[in-house]
Amino acid sequence: MSLAQRLLNGDRRALARLLTYVENEHPDGEAALSDLFGHTGRAHIIGVTGAPGAGKSTLVTALAKALRAMGKTIAILAVDPTSPFTGGAILGDRIRMVDLTNDPGVFIRSMATRGSLGGLSRASRDAVRLFDAAGYAIVLIETVGAGQSEVEIARIAQTVLVVEAPGMGDDIQAIKAGILEIADVLVVNKADRPGVDTTVRALKLMLELGHPALRANIDSHHGRMVAVTPQPEAPNGNSAFWLPPIVQTTATTGGGIEPLIAAIERHHAYLRESGTLATLESRQINTELHERLRELLLRRLLDALPPHAIEDAVARIQRRETTPHEQIAQLVDAEQQPRL
């Protein structure tokens, strides 16, 4: 029986093997993904990002436990973990995690990226598809919010949680402006620590000042600032747009996890009912096609060039014998010659 078929039959070892193939770009991985693609598109894909040490892994663990208690199956993908689920964390965290690893309704996987261009997004996107096809209702992806990874998570996830913690830089400048673009739910974790209110206030202010949805709302309310907390409703009862709620949690004790799950479910319902889910998926597929095309064409071009073609071009440009523009044209021509 093929690995893909075994995965569909619920074989965890087949899933584990295929995840390795996908991670290593093994051709059998691609083949299995083709067989499985028709079985994808059902899972709710939730991204969890935020600064190192904000409590993402602890939060993911608490979320997974609560969702399991509600009868949902969960897959967890930790991308480039610095304090992974299996080690690094303090003993208490490990003990909490053990409950999950013995549960057949949970699958946990860490994935390292090799720093290749687009490697993170391709491997994690494909891993999510394997989980999806395997029938996990919810896929939780943890990435450290540093540089590209948080942008990449927005290209894969349907609901993005941005995790903050008190004392990690509470002024507006310190909270990266980019998070508003990607956050669907803002989580202030470590709510048991002093300074939570300051962090919540800073995030609220930032939402009021900068969120595109709220700006639209201000316009439609003749320039008056509207309250941030209640989700604005359109006349037909559907949310006209989504304003990220701010939820406080204490991941270590499970505090605030229920309201967080409620917020996540509200966001999922909003995506489905407003038609945004389909738009989001089409945008994500579009981005994926562009990424893959760019990669494929670049690799094809580089493979077809004579050895040292790039280095030679660099030297000629540096000697001012030619321009980057001219060289690009020549390199592309050189690639096309053999096929004419």
Ligand X SMILES: Nc1nc2c(ncn2[C@@H]2O[C@H](COP(=O)(O)OP(=O)(O)OP(=O)(O)O)[C@@H](O)[C@H]2O)c(=O)[nH]1
Residues lying near ligand X in the complex (CB under 6 A) are found at 52-58, 81-83, 89-90, 93, 144, 189-190, 192-193, 250-252
CB closer to Mg ion out of 57 and 158: 57
Question: Least distance to ligand X from the beta carbon of 53, Å?
Answer: 5
CB closer to Mg ion out of 57 and 121: 57
Q: Is 127 exposed, middle or buried (0-12, 13-18, 19+ CB in 10 A)?
A: buried
| Chain mean position to CA 101 | 22
Question: Least distance to ligand X from the beta carbon of 188, Å?
Answer: 10
Question: Least distance to ligand X from the beta carbon of 109, Å?
Answer: 15
Are 71 and 162 spatial neighbours (Cβ–Cβ below 8 Å)? no
The residue whose two tokens read 């770009």 is 25
Nearest residue to ligand X on Cβ basis:
55
d(CA 234, CA 307): 61
CB closer to ligand X out of 143 and 158: 143
169 touches which of ligand X, Mg ion, none (CB within 5 to 8 A by kind)?
A: none
193 touches which of Mg ion, ligand X, none (CB within 5 to 8 A by kind)?
A: ligand X
250 touches which of Mg ion, ligand X, none (CB within 5 to 8 A by kind)?
A: ligand X
Question: Least distance to ligand X from the beta carbon of 68, Å?
Answer: 18
263 touches which of Mg ion, ligand X, none (CB within 5 to 8 A by kind)?
A: none
Nearest residue to Mg ion on Cβ basis:
57
d(CA 209, CA 203): 10
CB closer to ligand X out of 194 and 223: 194
129 touches which of ligand X, Mg ion, none (CB within 5 to 8 A by kind)?
A: none
CA atoms within 13 A on the CB side of 303: 6
- The distance in angstroms from the start CA to the end CA of the chain is 44
The residue whose two tokens read 């499985």 is 36
90 touches which of Mg ion, ligand X, none (CB within 5 to 8 A by kind)?
A: ligand X
Interface residues toward Mg ion, by CB under 5 A = 56-57, 83
Main-chain dihedrals φ then ψ at residue 139, nearest 5 degrees? -115, 120
Closest to 135 measured CA to CA, from 212, 219, 13, 40: 40
Count other C-beta atoms under 10 Å from residue 137's C-beta.
17
CB closer to ligand X out of 7 and 246: 246
